[in-house]
Chain A
């Protein structure tokens, strides 16, 4: 009886939507903002991309439009609504305008690695074979095989059409998962929706392109949703130490056995197997989260995490043998070596031009803000004895992966990415609680989110000077495939450049040591004897990467090309802007 009175009183105290607000001016503001941002995008010029990436390319109208859209979203969130339709429309527009940004501004789909993945998919679709000796990624083929099926279904042309807006699709799926996770962990609806907006503005990691890790991330979230919704832990199993130290949120009894759980478990096992065979790192995050959720009684599935461990070991041991044979030290050599791991994850990613340092500072700043906000949120919830232990587990579980391997300096990025959905939910629960959206809170939340927009653009698209694919670069690569005979080799000055787009086993790519002089470079090319065709491909991406990351002065690649031509051992096949293709014609000395 007392509870009923309390609930009624609380319902009375909730801010009631006024007629003006129920007309939803928030939606009008949001739509107006999206329209203005779209008009602003039409005026962006990709040739103006500089060391700060897209930040200065976008006109003020774009930023004003996105700011209005964010304000509209906050207003939409501030009114308790059960229907998700308008929130879904506005947040989808936000994802399209932020994560789909290069798709509107740049001439070609971005990022060289996505082109390589398209090439891998085409290899499987057209030849029906894997090439694990050519590239280790073929040892985890399920993503590429799935892509090949899609290519065949869609008419047989390479799936380059997927690349341009893949980040939009991946982030929309992640948002859906965040909403489900929030519901599974009994987060208020408004908080879960606010978490989705936070996630969109904080996910600067850029692992959402056409890649196994992007699909692996979505699989991970789908499995976590399924585990927490269908197989939640039984509160009667909670240990005394857990109540005392973790201050878990009270949950209703979930001891019933619903029908179909066995089939669901089999489905989950199959999904986990797909994750294990798709990407090297995803199973690590999956196993860590599942095992920890089981240990803390957040799920009744205690064995699934260990199954993932065994499946991973089995796949690595038997199916990915080519990958680890001869390079075991490279794979696990940095295990537990903190200095090496810090150097790889942090030192290797910092440095470069002045603009590059600003970009890296923006990224580190955003990551630190997320970490600090998550810790504060956890402390607040702990004091309230209302900790959603499952979410806290999903934030903590990826962290041990930091000491497992450096993974080319990318492990810290992956840990941030995998912890971000749950971290967003925790922060939103404290910053945007249900029914407490006063005018002041709305203004503060709107201002904070609007301030994140330029920071997001800086951190997410700060590498566009060398990650964009210019029309000249694509034309040069097309020329390579037109003129290179079977069994050719194409040298590059560094590895960030479109390559391996087709004819994977007939045209190989290698990177030259650009610090060598022209004579030494010529000797390197001349020594690649078994190859019938020998080329050097210089692209705009290589030039920009050298300037931004390598500390080279602008025009360095053109100087090398001039020196190589001066040796008389090369001829120009094609020159298009700062993209050049040279053919080795033999030593004149």
Chain B
């Protein structure tokens, strides 16, 4: 058990720094891209799915494409951010002792 713990600590010291750091940078990049995307797309040109109670189909419009890109970026942020936080928590738990 002691050996396993020691090995896991060594492993964490070397690999998680890189892995967690890269994930963190990826998440930060996605978040920055999200805000930049929103700045280039003010609300009044955004896709409006409901107009006067009627669903409007505009699958090809720029607003809808931008909205889909925004959703994908949020998902990427969520995935990379939570993964990097998980790595940090593992480091906390294993190294704090």
Complex CA gap A333/B35 in Å reads 35
In the assembled complex, A265 has its CB within 8 A of some CB on chain B: yes
Flag if B24 contacts A300 (CB, 8 Å): no
- Minimum Cβ distance to chain A for residue B17 (Å): 6
Q: Which residue of A lies closest to B29 (CB)?
A: A307
Flag if B35 contacts A317 (CB, 8 Å): no
Flag if A306 contacts B39 (CB, 8 Å): no
**A255-311 CB contacts (< 8 Å) to partner B:** 255-257, 261-262, 265-266, 269, 300-304, 306-307, 310-311
Contact with A along B34-46 (1 / 0, CB 8 A): 1110111011110
In the assembled complex, B95 has its CB within 8 A of some CB on chain A: yes
- Minimum Cβ distance to chain A for residue B79 (Å): 13
In the assembled complex, A338 has its CB within 8 A of some CB on chain B: no
Q: Given A265-B39, A318-B20, do A325 and B31 touch, yes or no (CB 8 Å)?
A: no
Complex CA gap A269/B28 in Å reads 10
Q: Give the chain B neighbours of A306 by CB distance below 8 A.
A: 31, 77, 81
Flag if B38 contacts A317 (CB, 8 Å): no
Interface stretch of the complex, out of B49-57, B60-68, B83-91? B83-91
Q: Given A236-B43, A255-B42, do A313 and B88 touch, yes or no (CB 8 Å)?
A: yes
- Minimum Cβ distance to chain A for residue B83 (Å): 11
Number of contacts between A and B (CB, 8 Å)? 83
Q: Give the chain A neighbours of B27 by CB distance below 8 A.
A: 310
Flag if B43 contacts A231 (CB, 8 Å): no
Which among B43, B45, B88 has the greatest number of chain A C-beta atoms within 10 A? B43
In the assembled complex, A237 has its CB within 8 A of some CB on chain B: yes
Interface size on A, residues (CB 8 A): 32
Complex CA gap A301/B40 in Å reads 12
- Minimum Cβ distance to chain B for residue A69 (Å): 44
Flag if A313 contacts B85 (CB, 8 Å): yes
Complex CA gap A304/B92 in Å reads 25
Flag if B39 contacts A262 (CB, 8 Å): yes
Q: Give the chain A neighbours of B36 by CB distance below 8 A.
A: 262, 265
Flag if B28 contacts A307 (CB, 8 Å): yes
Q: Give the chain B neighbours of A328 by CB distance below 8 A.
A: 92, 96
- Minimum Cβ distance to chain B for residue A298 (Å): 14
Flag if A307 contacts B95 (CB, 8 Å): no
Q: Which residue of B lies closest to A268 (CB)?
A: B35
Chain B facing A: main interface SS? helix
In the assembled complex, A559 has its CB within 8 A of some CB on chain B: no
In the assembled complex, A321 has its CB within 8 A of some CB on chain B: yes
Flag if B43 contacts A237 (CB, 8 Å): yes
Flag if B42 contacts A302 (CB, 8 Å): no
- Minimum Cβ distance to chain B for residue A228 (Å): 15
Flag if B31 contacts A257 (CB, 8 Å): no
Flag if B34 contacts A302 (CB, 8 Å): yes
In the assembled complex, A326 has its CB within 8 A of some CB on chain B: yes
In the assembled complex, B32 has its CB within 8 A of some CB on chain A: yes
Flag if A324 contacts B92 (CB, 8 Å): yes
- Minimum Cβ distance to chain A for residue B32 (Å): 6
**A320-359 CB contacts (< 8 Å) to partner B:** 321, 324-326, 328
Flag if B39 contacts A234 (CB, 8 Å): no
Interface size on B, residues (CB 8 A): 28
**B14-30 CB contacts (< 8 Å) to partner A:** 17, 20-21, 24, 27-28
Complex CA gap A50/B88 in Å reads 49
Flag if A314 contacts B21 (CB, 8 Å): yes
Flag if B84 contacts A310 (CB, 8 Å): yes
Q: Give the chain B neighbours of A310 by CB distance below 8 A.
A: 24, 27-28, 31, 81, 84-85
Flag if A317 contacts B32 (CB, 8 Å): no
Which among B32, B35, B45 has the greatest number of chain A C-beta atoms within 10 A? B35
Q: Give the chain B neighbours of A269 by CB distance below 8 A.
A: 32
Q: Give the chain A neighbours of B88 by CB distance below 8 A.
A: 313-314, 316-318
Complex CA gap A269/B44 in Å reads 26
Q: Which residue of B lies closest to A324 (CB)?
A: B96
Q: Give the chain A neighbours of B32 by CB distance below 8 A.
A: 265-266, 269, 303, 307
Residue from the list B17, B39, B81, B85 in contact with A318, Cβ < 8 A: B17
Complex CA gap A237/B87 in Å reads 36
Q: Give the chain A neighbours of B17 by CB distance below 8 A.
A: 318
Complex CA gap A237/B38 in Å reads 12
Complex CA gap A300/B38 in Å reads 7
- Minimum Cβ distance to chain B for residue A299 (Å): 10
- Minimum Cβ distance to chain B for residue A254 (Å): 8
Q: Give the chain B neighbours of A314 by CB distance below 8 A.
A: 20-21, 24, 84, 88
Q: Which residue of A lies closest to B97 (CB)?
A: A326
Flag if B85 contacts A265 (CB, 8 Å): no
Complex CA gap A269/B31 in Å reads 11
Q: Give the chain B neighbours of A265 by CB distance below 8 A.
A: 32, 35-36, 39
Complex CA gap A302/B77 in Å reads 12
Residue from the list A234, A318, A325 in contact with B44, Cβ < 8 A: A234
- Minimum Cβ distance to chain A for residue B94 (Å): 11
Complex CA gap A575/B96 in Å reads 45
- Minimum Cβ distance to chain B for residue A236 (Å): 5
Flag if A300 contacts B31 (CB, 8 Å): no
Flag if B95 contacts A325 (CB, 8 Å): yes
Flag if A300 contacts B84 (CB, 8 Å): no
Q: Give the chain B neighbours of A236 by CB distance below 8 A.
A: 43-44
Q: Which residue of A lies closest to B95 (CB)?
A: A325
Complex CA gap A318/B13 in Å reads 10
Other A-B pairs beyond A313-B24, A313-B84, A314-B21, 4, CB < 8 Å: A302-B35, A303-B31, A310-B24, A310-B28
Using CB atoms and an 8 Å cutoff, list the residues of chain B in contact with chain A.
17, 20-21, 24, 27-28, 31-32, 34-36, 38-40, 42-45, 77, 81, 84-85, 87-88, 91-92, 95-96
Task: For the complex of A and B, list the 9 residue pairs with the smallest distance between their C-beta atoms, beginning with the closest.
Answer: A317-B88, A255-B42, A303-B31, A234-B43, A303-B34, A328-B96, A307-B31, A255-B44, A314-B24
**Sample (14) of A-B pairs whose CB atoms are under 8 Å apart:** A234-B42, A234-B43, A265-B39, A269-B32, A302-B34, A303-B34, A304-B35, A307-B28, A310-B27, A313-B88, A314-B88, A324-B92, A324-B96, A325-B96
